[in-house]
Amino acid sequence: MTDATFIPADRPFVRAAMLAPEPPPAAVAGFSGWARANLFSGPFNTLLTLVCAAGAAYVAWVLVDFMALRAVWTGANREACVAPGTGACWPFITARFGQLLYGFYPADQHWRPAAVFFVAVALIAPLLIPSAPHKKLNALLFFVAFPIFAFVMLRGGLFGLRPVETRAWGGLLVTLVVATTGIVASLPLGVLLALGRRSKLPLIRFLSIAFIEFWRGVPLITVLFFATYMLPLFLPSGWTIDGLLRALVGVALFSAAYMAEVVRGGLQAIPKGQYEGAQALGLRYWPMMLLIVLPQALKLVIPGIVNTFIGLFKDTTLVAIVSIFDFLGIIRAGFADPNWATPVTVYTGFAFAGVVYFIFCYGMSRYSRFVEERLDTGHKR
């Protein structure tokens, strides 16, 4: 106190302004601070970091080396890729690119699935961006108008479009059709089943439980196999159901059962007070569920829902066993072409498939993170 009031005559300095705040010491701030705290906080962690970094660098090097540095980019047939030490054989992919996207869809009609794809992107993108306007119209277009548009465009037979049977569909087109249908159909079905399973009406509860347990109890392969090869035996002769449709229905019902259990997990986490509060406000069953319970329950289980979606996306490869060539199936069929049989064909094909599947699955995963953070009000830990 005395120091502050009494200033000796030989030291006339008085600070007039506050000192600028110093940056935190290098040891705790910036990248080096972060690295020190998280990667090198002790001898054991330092060792782990170095080992993992070396492993990651090695894998990255192997991938880059195979997929880019030693890769062959142009060529007309297997001769281009048979030299020893060759990396990825990309001409195998480029020569079949149309087939990988559209399967056996007639080449002069490729614009049709392409148009469907672009319209789908144009409708989904604003639906996924929260700030984009006209959500209701957008949703109506995507969930009602788009399926009809896509069906007419892909299947043909109307408006002068040449009919293309579903057995000619293939590649990424089939993967996306099966995955999208499964995803779009399984969520509402799953919600209904989950509510049904918790219903107080015994008949509805029993039917929901029976449905869920039946579809969860059989493997997807059996479902697809049965739908494709057993069903014709039980139908009157002359009756056929489109092969892709059978697979679509199978996949949708199968994933709905899984979705129902995920949603039920969310419903069970909602405290009883929420239901009672809603009832005290005079809300009946559906307003209570739609306005109070489901918004909270679904928000809780976003990771589980997206998990099911990603699993479903990858499970679409199983349609290959019922003679539908999805994206992976058409790549594998390409391996059998003697004109492209080389030591690296198989690795090239699988590397390409891996990259494509990763892009889709990681995209879904990132979007779910975004939605979780956006809706995370009041539960942040």
- Which segment (20-28, 286-294, 334-342, 360-368) binds another protein by CB under 8 A? 334-342
Give residue 83's region: left, alpha or beta (phi > 0; psi -120 to 50). beta
The token duo for 197 is: 């399973």
Residue in 169, 325, 327, 352 binding another protein, rule: CB under 8 A: 325
For another protein, the closer of residues 32 and 222 by Cβ is 222
> What value does the CA radius of gyration of the chain take, rounded to a whole number of Å?
29
Using rule CB under 8 A, residue 181 touches another protein: no
What string marks each residue from 140 to 179 as x (binds another protein by CB under 8 A) or -? ---------------------------x------------
# chain residues binding another protein, by CB under 8 A: 40
Using rule CB under 8 A, residue 321 touches another protein: yes
Using rule CB under 8 A, residue 95 touches another protein: yes
- Which segment (13-21, 124-132, 143-151, 341-349) binds another protein by CB under 8 A? 341-349
Distance CA 373, CA 243 (A): 41
| Range 185-204, binding another protein (CB under 8 A) | none
**CB neighbour class for 47 (10 Å; exposed up to 12, middle 13-18, buried from 19):** exposed
- Which segment (16-24, 285-293, 306-314, 339-347) binds another protein by CB under 8 A? 339-347
What string marks each residue from 255 to 294 as x (binds another protein by CB under 8 A) or -? ----------------------------------------
| Secondary element (H or E) of residue 218 | none
For another protein, the closer of residues 175 and 228 by Cβ is 228
Length of the chain: 381
The stretches of the chain forming alpha helices (DSSP H) are 2-5, 30-38, 43-64, 90-95, 97-102, 111-128, 135-140, 146-155, 171-197, 202-217, 220-225, 231-234, 243-268, 272-280, 285-287, 294-300, 302-315, 327-335, 345-375
The token duo for 198 is: 């918790």
- By C-alpha distance, which of 95, 65, 79 is closest to 342? 79
Using rule CB under 8 A, residue 233 touches another protein: yes
Distance CA 305, CA 380 (A): 19
Using rule CB under 8 A, residue 241 touches another protein: no
Question: Which residues of the chain form contacts with another protein (CB under 8 A)?
Answer: 78, 82, 84, 95-96, 98-99, 103-104, 107, 167, 225, 228-230, 232-234, 236-237, 320-323, 325, 329-330, 332-339, 341-343, 345-346
